[in-house]
Structure 1
Amino acid sequence: MLQHIKQLSEYFLIGVLAILPIVIVIEVVLLLKDLIAGTFFSVYGYVDSYLFTSILFAVIVVALSYIGYSLVQRRRSIIISTADLLVEKIPLINTIYRVSKKVIAMFSGGGEGNKREVVYIEYPKNDIWVPAYVTNRKGEWYVLFVPTSPNPTSGFTVVMHESKVVKSALNIEEVTSFIVSVGSDFPKADEVTRLPH
């Protein structure tokens, strides 16, 4: 009897873990739906007109699509450039804005220039290797963000000499998946055989 209960609880746990990604996606969709509906009815509460509110939302969708199109086609948008100029003149807000843009650009693979690198560093001691995002580089020095599992947005920032890092073939998406899955999703696992030991 005890063996059957143990096996049932094991199957139950495996079932919960299997359905968890679906539940997370559903929760994100419901959150977005509530956000959009809440905003829509909030605007409607001010103007008391479904037609005006619908037109306003259509204009916002077209404007956001145009901004996305401009960024993909020309690598810049007049709307974003104008917002950058305006925000740059406001003390404190300009720092928050600039930093948040850089962080978003790092995780989206965009930004000033190029594909972001991923490296391995020895942490917390020798012969223990962890992946890190290269956030900046000055000469032979790397500025690295070392994420923690399972939440890749938490972690710490370090500055290391290039002789102390080992370059990885993983991209940002792959290393993020590796961190979120607590190592179970490791697309280029064979590269660990090339780490010094």
Structure 2
Amino acid sequence: MSDSLKKTSAGMRLRRYFLTGLIVVAPLAITAWLTWTFVLWVDGWVKPYLPKAYNPDSYLPFGVPGYGLLVALVALTIVGFLTASLVGRTVLGFGESLLNRMPLVRVVYRGLKQIFETVLAEQNNSFKRAALIEYPRKGLWSIVFVATETRGEVDARMPQQETISVFLPTTPNPTSGFLLFVPRSDVIFLDMSVEEAAKMVISAGLVAPEYPKKMPAETPGAPAAPALAKDTPPRNDLTGT
């Protein structure tokens, strides 16, 4: 082997080692940085409002990162506990009645409240399944997140067929997309989870969950491939049964 080939192979190995290290370290470093930034951001909001007697930064020679986040979590839990009582619901209702009288503020408040209730409510079944639909034209397929069965006036105005509401995310930002009302018969439900589907959308298809490969097409004159046991067909409903 010539010296030039040895140098080329050594350079390729170094490049492969560098990329492998980058793949391992970069996600860990970015996750740690985002977590640390979020903790410091919450501390910066909460700590200035704490009395000095309850703020360890006022009498310790060093700062205590995460203390503000811990206080915020405890305070939110207490607020939720108080709101669940009769007195708390009364106070909350009075506060919302005041906000509803403010033309611009009430629109922002109602929108944010509806978003948080939809995303965080434990009894809500939104975005529990991933599916495929033909979009933007026949023959092209897109990943969607199944929301719920179509309801209200939209359901009443639709043709006499069962439809479901789906969210079509965009790449690489799955938080934006389109709300579509699709006939149930046109939806192919997937076995992959919503998280796996989101990773596939964000990575533009580069990251895909493992799944049994399709059988290769048979070559004319070649012996037929042995038959494989049929998998259980995927569940085709919203309830997962």
Q: TM-score, normalised by structure 1?
A: 0.66
1:53-92 to structure 2, matched below 5 A, reads 60-67=72-79, 78=89, 82=93, 85-92=97-104
1:150 aligns with 2:172: yes
* Change in CA separation of 1:3 and 1:91 when aligned onto 2, cut-off 3 Å: farther
The answer as to whether partners of 1:142 and 1:159 remain within 8 angstroms in 2 is yes
1:122 aligns with 2:134: yes
Match in the other structure for 1:43:
49
Match in the other structure for 1:10:
16
Q: TM-score, normalised by structure 2?
A: 0.56
In structure 2, the gaps of 5 or more residues are: 1-6, 57-67, 156-161, 215-230, 235-241
Stretch deviating more after TM superposition (61-70 or 11-20): 61-70
Distance 1:105 1:172 in 2: 19
In structure 1, the gaps of 5 or more residues are: none
Q: SS in structure 2 opposite 1:38?
A: helix
* Change in CA separation of 1:60 and 1:106 when aligned onto 2, cut-off 3 Å: closer
The code of the aligned residue for 1:133 comes to F
The answer as to whether partners of 1:40 and 1:53 remain within 8 angstroms in 2 is no
Distance 1:113 1:12 in 2: 44
Please give the root-mean-square deviation of Cα atoms over the aligned residues, in Å.
4.0
Which structure has the greater CA radius of gyration?
A: 2
The code of the aligned residue for 1:116 comes to F
Distance 1:68 1:179 in 2: 35
Report which of the two has the higher share of helix: 1
The code of the aligned residue for 1:186 comes to P
Q: What's the offset of the Cα at 1:81?
A: 5.1
Partner of residue 109 from structure 2, selected from 92, 97, 101? 97
